[in-house]
Structure 1
Amino acid sequence: MARYWFGDQTADVVVAAGEQVEVASLIGRYAILAPSTSLHVFDYETGDRVLDLLDAAAQPVTSVVTGDDGRIPRFRGPDGAERLLIGQDPATLPEDVDPAGYRWTIVTTSYPDIVDGLRARIAALEADSGGEYVSSAHPLLWAAPGEIDSQISAHVVANLDGRDQTVAHVRASAILGETASMDVTVYIVDMITGGRTPTEVLTLTTADPALTVTPTWGVPDGAGLTVGVEVDGDAQDLTVQVMVK
């Protein structure tokens, strides 16, 4: 996994309380940007100290030291860490305080790169799936158990995705008699007129009772799919599977 960058942002400074000051009716303290301050880094979830750090020159370090202006320098955290806790060395704190109260969240500055990577992965998934709504192919299934006669199925599956679908694979299988053959045709159906357009024909024989093809056509938005068979001889137990995405 990647080691992400932290530090060197506008808010990444260590501020210490200075001398007391009175302004009008307010009493407060000067804020001092604390230079050369050693900071420990902790796991965000467990609170355990993290020693696996790299400085800006990719050298291993176990703590982070602020610059002359109190700024936390750039450093890299452990693999995959996107947020950490950073704070004062517990040994420098009074004994009666909880060290956890002196740790603050620091978030990686590599988020633009992380987001770009996610966008690239999403784009690759969408390109592979044929559209932004479906990430993998899903099956449309027609099954006819028992003896098969020549027919066109009355069952039409409509494309309701709001976009054209890509057909990834078509598979047909049946049990055929010794000299039988079968033409399995996949039709695109006009859902308004009911008209059918043959788009793929798979010819099953005794020697090849199961076939799978990779089409170059798709199902238009709003259209449907159905199947038909022309049988020559004895045939039974037909299954047709159309994988769309």
Structure 2
Amino acid sequence: MRYQFGGTPADFVVAPGQQVQVGPDTLGATAVLIPGARLWVWDPDTGDRLTDLMDHRGEPVAEITADSSGAVPRFRAPDEVKRVLVGQAPDTSSGDAGEHSRHLLASTDWPADVTKLNTRITALENTTGGDDGGGDYVATAHPMMWHMGGPLESRRSPHPYHNLEGRNQTIIVLRAQATITEGTIGVRVVLLDPDTRGGAVAASVTITPEEPWALIRPQVEVSDGTGVTVEVDVPEEAEAEDLTVQVTIR
């Protein structure tokens, strides 16, 4: 999913203007909006420049241009990028090849993501288990939540839980829910060997358009030092989005 940035009342290109006296011994500067400023976008973690962008019309662009009032227009970053750094591009025509300051922008889509996640968590917490679907479970130790927004694809969570309790633990609940329009989605709990980093499937569920949520109580032992993560298998013919997985470890 390409997340959206810019286009809010706070998104303007601002530069210091004329100096003004703001105190007996202090000089300040007026704020000047910069229309038509060329803006580059970078990954905040790696520092790499991002050029796979889309403007507000959905057209591919390598950089963003402020509008006639200096506002940063709406744009979309590469897939799954939720934070970016934005700064003015170097003006090589004037001999200014130096770097300008970069400022962090968070995606404006995050409120919708939070709403979807809260909805999924509420649905999972209200899901009942047992042979007849009755009875609630209350997590007591380490609930591990994983949410994938937008269209689903096969992948493994890059954020495992590691058992560092100095004793064996047990996976007691696996819950999964998604919006599925076609096909069958597989969700698996994977144990990660602390030495080889190899993975072994410990428990799994499948969800379908007819049964878009599932809950099992696998009672799988997690030895001291072992990692636990989750992965989703989405066949090519399947269509699904907005997956939430909860694994409870005690």
Give the TM-score normalised by the residue count of structure 2: 0.48
Choose 1 or 2 for highest CA Rg.
1
Give the TM-score of the pair, scaled to structure 1.
Answer: 0.49
